[in-house]
Amino acid sequence: MDGAKATAAAHPDGIVDLSVGTPVDPTPDLVRDALAAAGDSPGYPLTYGTPALREAAAAWLRRRLGVTGADPAAVLPVIGTKELVAGLPSQLGLGPGDKVVHPALAYPTYDVGARLAGAEPIPAHDDERPGPDGVRLVWINSPANPHGAVKTAAELRELVAWARSIGALLVSDECYVELGWDAEPVSVLHPDVCGGSHDGLLAVHSLSKRSNLAGYRAGFVTGDPAVVRELLAVRKHAGMIVPGPVQEAMRVAFGDDTHVAAQKARYAARRAQLRDALESAGFRIDHSEASLYLWATRDEPCWDTVAWLADRGVLVAPGEFYGTAGARHVRVAFTATDERVAAAVARLKAA
Protein backbone atom coordinates (compact mmCIF):
# COMPACT_ATOMS: atom_id res chain seq x y z
CA MET A 1 0.00 0.00 0.00
CA ASP A 2 3.00 2.32 0.34
CA GLY A 3 2.90 3.51 -3.27
CA ALA A 4 -0.83 4.23 -3.22
CA LYS A 5 -0.50 5.99 0.13
CA ALA A 6 2.29 8.21 -1.17
CA THR A 7 0.24 9.09 -4.25
CA ALA A 8 -2.84 9.93 -2.19
CA ALA A 9 -0.78 11.98 0.28
CA ALA A 10 0.53 14.13 -2.58
CA HIS A 11 -2.96 15.48 -3.30
CA PRO A 12 -3.01 19.27 -2.84
CA ASP A 13 -5.80 19.01 -0.25
CA GLY A 14 -4.18 16.08 1.55
CA ILE A 15 -4.98 12.40 1.85
CA VAL A 16 -8.40 11.01 2.73
CA ASP A 17 -7.60 7.69 4.37
CA LEU A 18 -10.56 5.33 4.10
CA SER A 19 -8.42 2.19 4.24
CA VAL A 20 -8.86 1.35 7.92
CA GLY A 21 -11.85 1.09 10.26
CA THR A 22 -10.33 3.06 13.12
CA PRO A 23 -12.79 5.28 15.04
CA VAL A 24 -11.95 8.98 14.91
CA ASP A 25 -14.78 10.50 16.94
CA PRO A 26 -14.42 11.25 20.67
CA THR A 27 -14.82 8.58 23.31
CA PRO A 28 -18.08 9.41 25.15
CA ASP A 29 -17.69 11.64 28.20
CA LEU A 30 -19.48 9.24 30.53
CA VAL A 31 -17.00 6.49 29.62
CA ARG A 32 -13.97 8.74 30.12
CA ASP A 33 -15.38 9.92 33.45
CA ALA A 34 -15.81 6.31 34.56
CA LEU A 35 -12.23 5.48 33.58
CA ALA A 36 -10.89 8.47 35.51
CA ALA A 37 -12.99 7.75 38.59
CA ALA A 38 -11.60 4.21 38.72
CA GLY A 39 -8.03 5.37 38.17
CA ASP A 40 -6.92 4.63 41.74
CA SER A 41 -6.43 0.92 41.07
CA PRO A 42 -3.44 -0.44 43.04
CA GLY A 43 -4.54 -4.07 43.22
CA TYR A 44 -4.71 -6.76 40.58
CA PRO A 45 -7.98 -6.80 38.63
CA LEU A 46 -10.05 -9.93 38.13
CA THR A 47 -9.47 -11.94 34.95
CA TYR A 48 -13.14 -12.92 35.19
CA GLY A 49 -14.17 -9.26 35.37
CA THR A 50 -16.13 -7.57 38.12
CA PRO A 51 -19.63 -8.90 38.80
CA ALA A 52 -20.99 -5.46 37.85
CA LEU A 53 -19.29 -5.58 34.45
CA ARG A 54 -20.49 -9.10 33.71
CA GLU A 55 -24.06 -8.17 34.66
CA ALA A 56 -23.89 -5.04 32.47
CA ALA A 57 -22.73 -7.11 29.49
CA ALA A 58 -25.45 -9.72 30.06
CA ALA A 59 -28.09 -7.00 30.41
CA TRP A 60 -26.90 -5.46 27.13
CA LEU A 61 -27.20 -8.85 25.40
CA ARG A 62 -30.78 -9.18 26.65
CA ARG A 63 -31.79 -5.59 25.95
CA ARG A 64 -30.16 -4.97 22.58
CA LEU A 65 -29.80 -8.42 21.04
CA GLY A 66 -32.69 -10.38 22.53
CA VAL A 67 -30.41 -13.04 24.03
CA THR A 68 -32.89 -14.36 26.58
CA GLY A 69 -30.44 -16.83 28.10
CA ALA A 70 -27.66 -14.29 28.70
CA ASP A 71 -25.87 -15.28 31.91
CA PRO A 72 -23.35 -13.01 33.68
CA ALA A 73 -21.49 -16.15 34.79
CA ALA A 74 -20.74 -16.90 31.11
CA VAL A 75 -19.28 -13.47 30.32
CA LEU A 76 -15.48 -13.18 30.09
CA PRO A 77 -13.79 -9.81 29.38
CA VAL A 78 -10.98 -9.82 26.82
CA ILE A 79 -8.20 -7.38 25.98
CA GLY A 80 -9.78 -6.32 22.71
CA THR A 81 -11.38 -8.95 20.53
CA LYS A 82 -8.50 -9.18 18.05
CA GLU A 83 -6.44 -10.68 20.87
CA LEU A 84 -9.13 -13.29 21.42
CA VAL A 85 -9.51 -14.10 17.72
CA ALA A 86 -5.77 -14.63 17.35
CA GLY A 87 -5.39 -16.60 20.58
CA LEU A 88 -8.58 -18.66 20.80
CA PRO A 89 -7.36 -21.78 18.95
CA SER A 90 -4.25 -21.94 21.15
CA GLN A 91 -6.20 -21.28 24.34
CA LEU A 92 -8.58 -24.12 23.47
CA GLY A 93 -5.65 -26.49 22.98
CA LEU A 94 -5.89 -26.85 19.20
CA GLY A 95 -2.76 -27.92 17.35
CA PRO A 96 -1.41 -30.05 14.50
CA GLY A 97 -4.12 -32.19 12.93
CA ASP A 98 -6.90 -29.81 13.96
CA LYS A 99 -8.76 -27.64 11.45
CA VAL A 100 -10.21 -24.15 11.84
CA VAL A 101 -12.88 -23.18 9.32
CA HIS A 102 -13.32 -19.49 8.57
CA PRO A 103 -15.01 -17.39 5.87
CA ALA A 104 -13.20 -17.39 2.52
CA LEU A 105 -13.51 -13.60 2.38
CA ALA A 106 -12.56 -12.40 5.84
CA TYR A 107 -10.56 -10.51 8.39
CA PRO A 108 -7.13 -12.23 8.19
CA THR A 109 -6.75 -12.86 11.93
CA TYR A 110 -8.96 -15.98 11.78
CA ASP A 111 -6.33 -17.57 9.54
CA VAL A 112 -3.47 -16.23 11.65
CA GLY A 113 -4.93 -17.60 14.90
CA ALA A 114 -5.14 -21.10 13.43
CA ARG A 115 -1.54 -20.93 12.22
CA LEU A 116 -0.27 -19.67 15.58
CA ALA A 117 -1.76 -22.77 17.19
CA GLY A 118 -0.25 -25.07 14.57
CA ALA A 119 -3.73 -25.93 13.28
CA GLU A 120 -4.84 -25.82 9.66
CA PRO A 121 -6.97 -22.87 8.49
CA ILE A 122 -9.74 -23.86 6.07
CA PRO A 123 -11.30 -20.94 4.14
CA ALA A 124 -14.86 -21.76 3.13
CA HIS A 125 -17.50 -19.94 1.10
CA ASP A 126 -21.02 -19.60 2.49
CA ASP A 127 -22.31 -22.62 0.58
CA GLU A 128 -19.39 -24.87 1.53
CA ARG A 129 -19.40 -27.31 4.43
CA PRO A 130 -15.95 -28.85 4.86
CA GLY A 131 -15.78 -32.52 5.86
CA PRO A 132 -15.94 -33.15 9.59
CA ASP A 133 -12.53 -34.82 9.97
CA GLY A 134 -10.42 -32.68 12.25
CA VAL A 135 -12.72 -29.63 12.29
CA ARG A 136 -12.63 -28.33 15.86
CA LEU A 137 -13.48 -24.66 15.43
CA VAL A 138 -15.72 -22.76 12.98
CA TRP A 139 -15.63 -18.96 12.73
CA ILE A 140 -18.51 -16.93 11.35
CA ASN A 141 -18.69 -13.15 11.05
CA SER A 142 -22.01 -11.34 10.69
CA PRO A 143 -22.11 -8.44 10.00
CA ALA A 144 -18.99 -9.29 8.03
CA ASN A 145 -15.70 -7.56 7.48
CA PRO A 146 -14.82 -6.62 4.73
CA HIS A 147 -18.10 -6.67 2.78
CA GLY A 148 -20.78 -5.90 5.37
CA ALA A 149 -23.06 -8.83 4.54
CA VAL A 150 -25.56 -9.93 7.20
CA LYS A 151 -26.69 -13.52 7.72
CA THR A 152 -30.36 -14.11 8.42
CA ALA A 153 -31.55 -16.03 11.47
CA ALA A 154 -32.33 -18.98 9.19
CA GLU A 155 -28.82 -18.97 7.70
CA LEU A 156 -27.27 -18.79 11.16
CA ARG A 157 -29.55 -21.56 12.41
CA GLU A 158 -28.35 -23.84 9.60
CA LEU A 159 -24.71 -23.13 10.46
CA VAL A 160 -25.34 -23.86 14.15
CA ALA A 161 -26.97 -27.18 13.27
CA TRP A 162 -24.08 -28.13 10.97
CA ALA A 163 -21.37 -27.24 13.53
CA ARG A 164 -23.19 -29.18 16.26
CA SER A 165 -23.59 -32.18 13.94
CA ILE A 166 -19.82 -32.45 13.46
CA GLY A 167 -18.95 -31.65 17.07
CA ALA A 168 -17.20 -28.35 16.30
CA LEU A 169 -17.29 -25.19 18.39
CA LEU A 170 -18.98 -22.37 16.44
CA VAL A 171 -17.68 -18.89 17.26
CA SER A 172 -19.50 -15.83 15.97
CA ASP A 173 -17.58 -12.56 15.67
CA GLU A 174 -20.31 -9.95 16.19
CA CYS A 175 -18.35 -6.73 16.70
CA TYR A 176 -20.55 -4.80 14.19
CA VAL A 177 -23.86 -6.17 15.48
CA GLU A 178 -25.29 -2.74 16.41
CA LEU A 179 -24.32 -1.21 13.07
CA GLY A 180 -27.02 -2.52 10.75
CA TRP A 181 -28.18 -0.29 7.87
CA ASP A 182 -30.20 -2.26 5.31
CA ALA A 183 -30.61 -5.38 7.47
CA GLU A 184 -31.03 -6.12 11.16
CA PRO A 185 -28.11 -8.25 12.44
CA VAL A 186 -28.93 -11.24 14.64
CA SER A 187 -26.72 -12.78 17.31
CA VAL A 188 -25.91 -16.47 17.13
CA LEU A 189 -27.10 -16.63 20.76
CA HIS A 190 -30.60 -15.40 19.92
CA PRO A 191 -33.15 -18.13 20.71
CA ASP A 192 -34.44 -18.07 17.12
CA VAL A 193 -30.94 -19.15 16.04
CA CYS A 194 -29.65 -21.44 18.79
CA GLY A 195 -32.94 -22.92 20.02
CA GLY A 196 -32.41 -21.46 23.47
CA SER A 197 -29.20 -23.44 24.12
CA HIS A 198 -25.71 -21.94 24.01
CA ASP A 199 -24.02 -25.34 23.95
CA GLY A 200 -21.16 -25.42 21.44
CA LEU A 201 -21.45 -21.70 20.74
CA LEU A 202 -19.49 -18.54 21.55
CA ALA A 203 -20.17 -14.93 20.58
CA VAL A 204 -17.47 -12.24 20.56
CA HIS A 205 -18.35 -8.59 21.20
CA SER A 206 -16.36 -5.37 21.12
CA LEU A 207 -16.72 -1.80 22.35
CA SER A 208 -14.23 -0.47 19.78
CA LYS A 209 -16.82 0.35 17.11
CA ARG A 210 -20.07 1.01 19.00
CA SER A 211 -18.47 3.24 21.68
CA ASN A 212 -15.22 4.53 20.11
CA LEU A 213 -13.17 2.53 22.60
CA ALA A 214 -10.62 1.01 20.23
CA GLY A 215 -7.83 2.51 22.32
CA TYR A 216 -9.16 0.92 25.51
CA ARG A 217 -8.89 -2.67 24.17
CA ALA A 218 -12.25 -3.71 25.57
CA GLY A 219 -14.48 -6.60 24.62
CA PHE A 220 -15.90 -9.87 25.88
CA VAL A 221 -16.69 -13.43 24.87
CA THR A 222 -19.77 -15.32 26.02
CA GLY A 223 -21.81 -18.42 25.26
CA ASP A 224 -21.26 -22.04 26.28
CA PRO A 225 -20.53 -21.87 30.04
CA ALA A 226 -18.18 -24.87 29.95
CA VAL A 227 -16.04 -23.31 27.20
CA VAL A 228 -15.99 -19.94 28.97
CA ARG A 229 -14.78 -21.65 32.16
CA GLU A 230 -12.02 -23.39 30.20
CA LEU A 231 -10.91 -20.08 28.70
CA LEU A 232 -11.01 -18.39 32.11
CA ALA A 233 -8.70 -21.04 33.59
CA VAL A 234 -6.18 -20.62 30.78
CA ARG A 235 -6.30 -16.83 30.74
CA LYS A 236 -5.84 -16.60 34.53
CA HIS A 237 -2.55 -18.43 34.29
CA ALA A 238 -1.47 -16.43 31.24
CA GLY A 239 -2.17 -13.09 32.98
CA MET A 240 -4.58 -11.97 30.28
CA ILE A 241 -6.47 -9.42 32.34
CA VAL A 242 -8.44 -6.33 31.34
CA PRO A 243 -7.21 -3.42 33.54
CA GLY A 244 -9.55 -2.49 36.39
CA PRO A 245 -10.29 1.07 35.23
CA VAL A 246 -11.10 -0.23 31.75
CA GLN A 247 -13.50 -2.77 33.24
CA GLU A 248 -15.39 0.07 34.92
CA ALA A 249 -15.44 2.06 31.67
CA MET A 250 -16.85 -1.03 29.93
CA ARG A 251 -19.57 -1.39 32.54
CA VAL A 252 -20.73 2.17 31.94
CA ALA A 253 -20.52 1.88 28.15
CA PHE A 254 -22.67 -1.25 28.04
CA GLY A 255 -25.25 0.42 30.26
CA ASP A 256 -25.83 3.40 27.97
CA ASP A 257 -27.54 3.32 24.56
CA THR A 258 -27.71 7.08 23.92
CA HIS A 259 -24.09 7.50 22.85
CA VAL A 260 -24.42 4.48 20.54
CA ALA A 261 -27.39 6.02 18.74
CA ALA A 262 -25.52 9.33 18.33
CA GLN A 263 -22.47 7.61 16.89
CA LYS A 264 -24.56 5.46 14.56
CA ALA A 265 -26.21 8.61 13.22
CA ARG A 266 -22.78 10.07 12.41
CA TYR A 267 -21.81 6.93 10.55
CA ALA A 268 -25.13 6.82 8.72
CA ALA A 269 -24.59 10.33 7.33
CA ARG A 270 -21.03 9.55 6.21
CA ARG A 271 -22.13 6.26 4.68
CA ALA A 272 -24.91 7.90 2.67
CA GLN A 273 -22.61 10.62 1.35
CA LEU A 274 -19.84 8.22 0.32
CA ARG A 275 -22.22 5.71 -1.23
CA ASP A 276 -23.86 8.38 -3.36
CA ALA A 277 -20.48 9.77 -4.44
CA LEU A 278 -19.05 6.36 -5.31
CA GLU A 279 -22.12 5.39 -7.32
CA SER A 280 -22.04 8.73 -9.16
CA ALA A 281 -18.40 7.96 -10.07
CA GLY A 282 -19.40 4.63 -11.64
CA PHE A 283 -18.94 2.23 -8.74
CA ARG A 284 -21.30 -0.57 -7.75
CA ILE A 285 -21.80 -1.25 -4.04
CA ASP A 286 -22.27 -4.92 -3.15
CA HIS A 287 -23.57 -6.27 0.17
CA SER A 288 -22.70 -3.50 2.70
CA GLU A 289 -25.97 -4.02 4.62
CA ALA A 290 -24.13 -3.38 7.89
CA SER A 291 -20.72 -2.65 9.46
CA LEU A 292 -18.48 0.36 8.79
CA TYR A 293 -17.53 -0.34 5.18
CA LEU A 294 -18.75 -0.07 1.61
CA TRP A 295 -17.74 -3.00 -0.61
CA ALA A 296 -17.21 -1.22 -3.91
CA THR A 297 -16.25 -2.33 -7.41
CA ARG A 298 -15.79 -1.04 -10.94
CA ASP A 299 -15.48 -4.62 -12.23
CA GLU A 300 -11.74 -4.32 -12.60
CA PRO A 301 -8.73 -5.64 -10.64
CA CYS A 302 -8.81 -4.13 -7.15
CA TRP A 303 -5.31 -2.66 -7.44
CA ASP A 304 -6.41 -0.65 -10.51
CA THR A 305 -9.25 0.77 -8.42
CA VAL A 306 -6.88 1.52 -5.53
CA ALA A 307 -4.61 3.42 -7.94
CA TRP A 308 -7.51 5.35 -9.51
CA LEU A 309 -8.71 6.51 -6.11
CA ALA A 310 -5.17 7.28 -4.90
CA ASP A 311 -4.75 9.63 -7.89
CA ARG A 312 -7.65 11.56 -6.37
CA GLY A 313 -6.14 11.57 -2.90
CA VAL A 314 -8.36 8.79 -1.52
CA LEU A 315 -6.83 5.66 0.03
CA VAL A 316 -8.88 2.46 0.28
CA ALA A 317 -8.12 -1.18 1.06
CA PRO A 318 -7.79 -3.65 -1.83
CA GLY A 319 -10.27 -6.49 -1.51
CA GLU A 320 -7.51 -8.99 -2.23
CA PHE A 321 -6.21 -8.39 1.32
CA TYR A 322 -9.23 -10.36 2.59
CA GLY A 323 -9.05 -13.32 0.21
CA THR A 324 -8.92 -14.06 -3.49
CA ALA A 325 -12.70 -13.65 -3.76
CA GLY A 326 -12.17 -9.93 -3.15
CA ALA A 327 -9.83 -9.40 -6.10
CA ARG A 328 -12.24 -7.07 -7.93
CA HIS A 329 -13.50 -5.02 -4.98
CA VAL A 330 -12.16 -2.41 -2.59
CA ARG A 331 -13.19 -1.81 1.00
CA VAL A 332 -14.10 1.80 1.75
CA ALA A 333 -14.35 2.71 5.43
CA PHE A 334 -16.58 5.57 6.53
CA THR A 335 -14.75 6.16 9.80
CA ALA A 336 -12.99 9.35 8.68
CA THR A 337 -14.00 12.75 10.03
CA ASP A 338 -16.88 14.67 8.48
CA GLU A 339 -14.37 17.08 6.91
CA ARG A 340 -12.34 14.28 5.27
CA VAL A 341 -15.47 12.48 4.07
CA ALA A 342 -16.69 15.73 2.51
CA ALA A 343 -13.31 16.08 0.78
CA ALA A 344 -13.58 12.55 -0.63
CA VAL A 345 -17.14 13.19 -1.81
CA ALA A 346 -16.12 16.37 -3.63
CA ARG A 347 -13.25 14.58 -5.39
CA LEU A 348 -15.44 11.66 -6.45
CA LYS A 349 -18.21 13.93 -7.70
CA ALA A 350 -15.64 15.82 -9.78
CA ALA A 351 -14.23 12.62 -11.29
> How confident is the model over 138-197, as pLDDT tens digits?
999 999 999 999 999 999 999 999 999 999 999 999 999 999 999 999 999 999 999 999
Same domain, 189 and 66: yes
Residue 210, sorted as left (phi over 0), alpha (psi -120 to 50) or beta, turns out to be alpha
DSSP structural state of residue 72 = G
Same domain, 63 and 206: yes
Which of these three, 235, 255, 275, is where a domain ends?
255
The tally of domains found in the chain comes to 2
Q: Is the pTM of this model over 0.75?
A: yes
d(CA 306, CA 349): 17
Range of the domain at 103: 29-255
Residue whose C-alpha is closest to residue 153's, from 201, 181, 188, 127: 188
Tell me the backbone φ, ψ of residue 153, rounded to 5 degrees: -60, -40
pLDDT confidence bin for 249, thresholds 50/70/90: very high
Same domain, 235 and 153: yes
Same domain, 14 and 138: no
Write the DSSP assignment of 83-150 as a string of letters. Answer: HHHHHHHHHTT--TT-EEEEESSS-THHHHHHHHHTPEEEEE-TT----STTEEEEEEESS-TTT---
Which of these three, 255, 277, 296, is where a domain ends?
255
CATH of the domain at 324: 3.90.1150.10
Same domain, 189 and 54: yes
Q: Cα angle at 114 between 108 and 115, to 5 degrees?
A: 90
Residues 6+ apart with CB under 8 A from 53: 75, 77, 247, 248, 250, 251, 254
Which of these three, 205, 221, 255, is where a domain ends?
255
CATH of the domain at 54: 3.40.640.10
pLDDT digits 0-9 by tens, 9-62? 999 999 999 999 999 999 999 999 999 999 999 999 999 999 999 999 999 999
d(CA 63, CA 42): 34
Same domain, 55 and 10: no
d(CA 160, CA 258): 33
Q: How big is the chain, counted in residues?
A: 351
Same domain, 263 and 250: no
**Does residue 287 carry a pLDDT above 90?**
yes
